[in-house]
Amino acid sequence: MKRLPLLLTLSILLSAIQMRADEGMWMLPLLEKLNIKKMHESGLKLSAQEIYNINNSSLKDAIVHFGGGCTAEVVSDKGLLFTNHHCGYSSIQKLSTVDHDYLKDGYWAMNLKEELPAKGLTVTFIDKFVDVTERINKAVAKAKTDKEKQAAYEAIVAKIKEEATSQDKTLDAMVTGFYNGNAYYVITTRTFKDIRFVGAPPSSIGKFGADTDNWMWPRHTGDFSVFRIYADKNNNPAEYSEENVPYTPKQSLKISLKGVKENDYTMIIGFPGRTTRFMLSEEAKETQNINNAISIYVRGEKQNIWMEDMIADPKVRIQYSSKYAGSSNGWKKWMGMNETFDKLNIVERRAAEEQAFNEWVAANKKRSKKYGNAVEQINSAVKDRAEYAYVYRYLSESLSAIELLKAPLSANRAGGMDGFFKDYSVSTDRKLAKRMIAIYKEKVDPKYHPAFFSVIDEQFGGDISKFVDNVYDNSAYTSKEKYDAAIAAGINLKADPVSILRNDLHKVSNMIMPELLASSAVIDKAKKTYVAGVLEMQGDNASYPDANSTMRLTYGKVLPYSPKDAVIYDYITTLDGVMQKEDPNNWEFVVPAKLKELWKAKDFGEYALENGKMPVAFLCNCDITGGNSGSPVLNDKGELLGLAFDGNWEAMSGDVIFEPELQRCINVDIRYVLFIIDKFGGAGYLLDEMKIVR
Residue type, 399: L
What pLDDT digit, counting tens, does each position of 594-619 carry? Answer: 999 999 999 999 999 999 999 999 99
Ordered DSSP codes for 204-265: HHHTTTHHHHTT-SS------EEEEEEE-TTS------TT-EE---S---EEE-S---TT-E
- Any domain includes 2: no
Phi and psi based region of residue 537 (left: phi greater than 0; alpha: psi -120 to 50; beta: remaining): alpha
For residues 88 and 206, is the Cβ–Cβ distance under 8 A?
no
Active-site residue identified among 58, 86, 90, 213: 86
- Any domain includes 1: no
Model confidence band, residue 666 (pLDDT cutoffs 50, 70, 90): very high
For residues 208 and 577, is the Cβ–Cβ distance under 8 A?
no
Model confidence band, residue 577 (pLDDT cutoffs 50, 70, 90): very high
**Per-residue confidence (pLDDT) for residue 73, from 0 to 100:** 98
Residue 100 belongs to domain spanning: 8-122+193-275+546-693
Domain identity same for 646 and 677: yes
- 337/345 Cα distance (integer angstroms): 12
**Coil/strand/helix, residue 526:** helix
Domain identity same for 169 and 310: no
- Indicate which CATH number applies to the domain containing 40: 2.40.10.120
Provide the angle, in degrees to the nearest 10, between the axes of the packed helices 452-460 and 497-538.
Answer: 140
629 is catalytic: yes
The structure's pTM equals 0.94
pLDDT at 4 over 60: no
463 is catalytic: no
Output phi, psi for 220, to 5 deg. Answer: -140, 40
Percent of the chain residues past pLDDT 90, beyond the cut: 95
- 100/50 Cα distance (integer angstroms): 43
Cis before 218? omega within 30: yes
Domain identity same for 146 and 240: no
pLDDT at 377 over 80: yes
pLDDT at 5 over 80: no
Domain identity same for 524 and 558: no
Rounded-to-10 torsion of CA 213, 215, 218, 220: 60
**Per-residue confidence (pLDDT) for residue 414, from 0 to 100:** 67
- 453/504 Cα distance (integer angstroms): 10
Which residues are CB-neighbours of 321 under 8 A, at least 6 positions away? 89, 93, 103, 310
pLDDT at 471 over 70: yes
Domain identity same for 263 and 350: no
- 443/440 Cα distance (integer angstroms): 5
What pLDDT digit, counting tens, does each position of 519-534 carry? Answer: 999 999 999 999 999 9
**Per-residue confidence (pLDDT) for residue 416, from 0 to 100:** 83
Domain identity same for 77 and 208: yes
Rounded average pLDDT over 535-556: 95
Provide the angle, in degrees to the nearest 10, between the axes of the packed helices 6-19 and 346-362.
Answer: 120
Domain identity same for 401 and 314: yes
- Burial pattern 657-694, b for ≥16 Cβ within 10 A else e, equals bbbeebbbbbbbbbbbbbbbbbbbbebeebeebbebee
Output phi, psi for 414, to 5 deg. Answer: -60, 135
DSSP H or E segment with residue 671: helix 670-675
pLDDT at 11 over 50: no
pLDDT at 579 over 80: yes
CB atoms within 10 A of CB 358: 20
- Any domain includes 390: yes
Rounded average pLDDT over 454-473: 98
223 is catalytic: yes
Domain identity same for 431 and 334: yes
DSSP H or E segment with residue 83: strand 80-83
**Per-residue confidence (pLDDT) for residue 413, from 0 to 100:** 75
Pairing relationship of beta strands 80-83 and 225-231 according to DSSP bridges: antiparallel
Rounded to whole angstroms, what are the CA distances from 574 to 219, 495, 598, 666? Answer: 9, 59, 13, 13
- Any domain includes 36: yes
What pLDDT digit, counting tens, does each position of 310-329 carry? Answer: 999 999 999 999 999 999 99
What pLDDT digit, counting tens, does each position of 480-517 carry? Answer: 999 999 999 999 999 999 999 999 999 999 999 999 99
Domain identity same for 246 and 101: yes
pLDDT at 183 over 90: yes
Rounded to whole angstroms, what are the CA distances from 535 to 199, 223, 544, 545? Answer: 46, 38, 10, 10
Domain identity same for 82 and 168: no
Helix extents (H) in 313-451: 314-343, 346-362, 365-371, 374-384, 386-397, 407-410, 416-422, 426-443
Residue type, 438: A
- Any domain includes 587: yes
Model confidence band, residue 410 (pLDDT cutoffs 50, 70, 90): confident
CB atoms within 10 A of CB 544: 22
In angstroms, the first-to-last Cα distance of the chain is 58
Residue ending a domain, among 161, 191, 221, is 191
**Per-residue confidence (pLDDT) for residue 491, from 0 to 100:** 94
- Mean of the per-residue pLDDT values of the chain: 95
**Per-residue confidence (pLDDT) for residue 76, from 0 to 100:** 98
**Coil/strand/helix, residue 447:** helix
**Per-residue confidence (pLDDT) for residue 234, from 0 to 100:** 98
- Any domain includes 3: no
Single out the residue of 77, 78, 192, 186 nearest to residue 125, CA to CA: 192
Residue type, 257: L
**Per-residue confidence (pLDDT) for residue 3, from 0 to 100:** 42
**Coil/strand/helix, residue 598:** helix
- Any domain includes 197: yes
pLDDT at 19 over 80: no
pLDDT at 1 over 50: no
Number of domains in the chain: 3
- Any domain includes 640: yes
**Per-residue confidence (pLDDT) for residue 411, from 0 to 100:** 75
- 479/24 Cα distance (integer angstroms): 49
Helix extents (H) in 494-643: 497-538, 575-581, 593-600
Rounded to whole angstroms, what are the CA distances from 434 to 390, 411, 469, 472, 496? Answer: 21, 25, 9, 11, 19
Burial class of residue 528, CB neighbours in 10 A (0-12, 13-18, 19+): middle
- 398/435 Cα distance (integer angstroms): 9
Ordered DSSP codes for 31-80: HHHHTHHHHHHHT--S-HHHHS-SSS--GGGGEEEETTTEEEEE-STT-E
Which residues are CB-neighbours of 541 under 8 A, at least 6 positions away? 17, 18, 21
- 498/597 Cα distance (integer angstroms): 53
**Per-residue confidence (pLDDT) for residue 9, from 0 to 100:** 42
User: Where are the strands (E) in 427-495, listed by range?
Assistant: none
Instruction: Give strand pairing partners of 114.
Output: none
Residue ending a domain, among 156, 175, 191, is 191
Domain identity same for 311 and 184: no
Q: How many helices (H) and strands (E) does the chain have?
A: 27, 23
Across 241-250, 413-422, 621-630, least confident range: 413-422
Rounded to whole angstroms, what are the CA distances from 360 to 7, 531, 555? Answer: 9, 14, 31
Single out the residue of 488, 499, 492, 504 nearest to residue 407, CA to CA: 499
3-state percent helix, strand, coil for the chain, nearest multiple of 5: 50, 15, 30
**Per-residue confidence (pLDDT) for residue 12, from 0 to 100:** 40
Q: What is the 3-state secondary structure (H, E, C) of 429-444?
A: HHHHHHHHHHHHHHHC
Model confidence band, residue 540 (pLDDT cutoffs 50, 70, 90): confident
What pLDDT digit, counting tens, does each position of 21-53 carry? Answer: 469 999 999 999 999 999 999 999 999 999 999
Rounded average pLDDT over 582-586: 97
Percent of the chain residues past pLDDT 70, beyond the cut: 97
Single out the residue of 419, 418, 313, 415 nearest to residue 101, CA to CA: 313
DSSP state of 290: I
Active-site residue identified among 223, 264, 309, 496: 223
Residue ending a domain, among 538, 558, 590, is 538
For residues 486 and 476, is the Cβ–Cβ distance under 8 A?
yes
Domain identity same for 562 and 520: no
Single out the residue of 558, 564, 528 nearest to residue 546, CA to CA: 528
